[in-house]
């Protein structure tokens, strides 16, 4: 009997250690609107959507959720955002695994929609929402973009009414928003914007409209990132946003801020955890 007890103890320790060793941390990237098909899920940035923006300093495994960037981000099927998010989160963000998500533009829309509709809870520490289009864009309302399913989904009406923005299953959505857009788009976008989406969308404001800063009347599950990225005075404490434009991957890209904010997250505790 004693020998059997020792055997069971040894087996428990062995399998317990194996379970511990198998635990993994992932940083998952979800891209936004694109004229290219980035379909694929894995450690490769399919068709290089993220460019240099993916080069964050992390000890975690980087994982990419790719899909056809011209399709409605709320739909399921081959190369569709919801199917690929479901596949990756079920495989990488449950059990002993932990995830952090970095999304961009319509990718944040897709992620929020998935969380609201999901019947499963996932081990997701936070979502860093870079230039989120979760509230839609008035540029899509104008319909001067190339017509397509993604463009129709990005209209402000569908974006705000098709899911409950308050029900993120306990996952915090942290906004990284830009406030200084380009002149040829800003005439249509209300309030401050980053050239593609206004602060009402990027910052999780409860109401569509003209907002000059991020920290007012938000959906309850959305938070403003209290960032430290102030190179060349790009961070505005009064606006709680960045002097960044939406497009490109150069020094004025909103995604550049994500790399710096990741480093900031590594130096301080956010809701009991740090980026790694």
Identify the residue whose tokens are 């009997």: 1
What is the pLDDT, as a whole number, of residue 247?
63
Please write down the long-range contacts of 265-272, taking CB distance under 8 Å and 24 or more positions apart: 265/128, 266/57, 270/126, 270/174, 271/125, 271/126, 271/172
List, for residues 126-156, the tens digit of each pLDDT value. Answer: 999 999 999 999 999 986 555 569 999 999 9
List pLDDT tens digits, range 180-202: 888 777 788 999 999 899 999 99
| Nearest CA-CA partner of 168 in 78, 236, 103 | 103
* 252 confidence band (pLDDT: 50, 70, 90): low
Quick check: 70 pLDDT over 90?
yes
pLDDT at 253: 73
The 10s digit of each residue's pLDDT in 101-128 is 999 999 999 999 999 999 999 999 999 9
Q: Is the Cβ–Cβ distance between 134 and 109 less than 8 Å?
A: yes
Give the SS3 label for residue 167: coil
Domains and CATH numbers, the chain: 25-267 (3.40.50)
Phi–psi pair at 228, nearest 5 degrees: -120, 5
Specify whether the CB–CB gap between 265 and 174 falls below 8 A. no
Q: Is the pLDDT of residue 234 over 80?
A: no
Q: Where would I find the beta strands (DSSP E) of the chain?
A: 25-30, 37-42, 61-68, 98-104, 124-130, 172-176, 222-224, 235-236, 241-242
Q: What is the pLDDT of residues 151-175, one digit of tens each?
A: 999 999 999 999 999 999 999 999 9
How confident is the model at residue 244, as a pLDDT? 80
Dist. CA 48–CA 57, nearest whole Å: 18
Residue 86 CB contacts under 8 Å (≥ 6 apart), including other chains: 76, 114
- Neighbouring residues of 151: CB distance < 8 A, sequence distance ≥ 6: 33, 140, 143, 145
pLDDT of 233 above 70: no
Query: What digits encode the pLDDT tens for the residues 17-57?
Result: 444 446 899 999 999 999 889 999 999 999 999 988 898 99
Mean pLDDT (whole number) for 259-264? 84
Q: What residues contact residue 175 under an 8 Å CB cut-off, 6+ apart? A: 129, 132, 202, 203, 204, 214, 222, 223, 224, 225
Quote the tokens at residue 44.
């490769």
pLDDT digits (tens, 9 = 90+) for 10-19: 444 444 444 4
pLDDT at 251: 55
In this predicted structure, the answer to whether residue 74 has a pLDDT above a threshold of 50 is yes
Whole-number pLDDT of residue 245: 77
* Cα Rg of the chain, angstroms: 20
């Amino acid at each position: 009997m004693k020998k059997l007890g020792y055997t069971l103890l040894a087996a428990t320790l062995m399998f317990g250690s194996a379970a511990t060793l198998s635990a993994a941390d992932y940083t998952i990237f979800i891209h936004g609107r694109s004229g290219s098909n980035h379909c694929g899920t894995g450690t490769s940035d399919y068709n290089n959507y993220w460019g240099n923006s993916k080069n964050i300093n992390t000890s975690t495994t980087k994982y990419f959720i790719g899909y056809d960037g011209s399709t409605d981000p709320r739909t399921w099927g081959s190369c569709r955002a919801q199917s690929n998010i479901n596949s990756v989160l079920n495989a990488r963000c449950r059990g002993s695994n932990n995830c952090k998500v970095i999304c961009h533009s319509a990718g944040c829309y897709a992620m929020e929609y998935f969380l609201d509709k999901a019947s499963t809870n996932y081990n997701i520490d936070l979502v860093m929402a870079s230039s989120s289009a979760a509230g839609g864009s008035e540029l899509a309302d104008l319909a001067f973009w190339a017509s397509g399913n993604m463009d129709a989904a990005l209209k402000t009406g569908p974006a705000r009414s098709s899911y409950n923005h308050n029900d993120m299953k306990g996952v915090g959505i942290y906004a990284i928003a830009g406030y200084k857009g380009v002149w040829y788009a800003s005439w249509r976008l209300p309030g401050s914007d980053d050239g593609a989406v206004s602060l009402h969308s990027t910052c999780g404001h409860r109401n569509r409209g003209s907002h000059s800063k991020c920290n007012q009347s938000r959906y309850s599950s959305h938070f403003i990132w209290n960032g430290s990225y102030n190179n060349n005075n790009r961070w505005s404490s009064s606006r709680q946003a960045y002097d960044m434009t939406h497009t490109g991957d150069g020094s004025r890209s909103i995604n550049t801020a994500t790399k710096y904010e990741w480093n900031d997250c590594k130096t301080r505790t956010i809701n009991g955890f740090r980026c790694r």
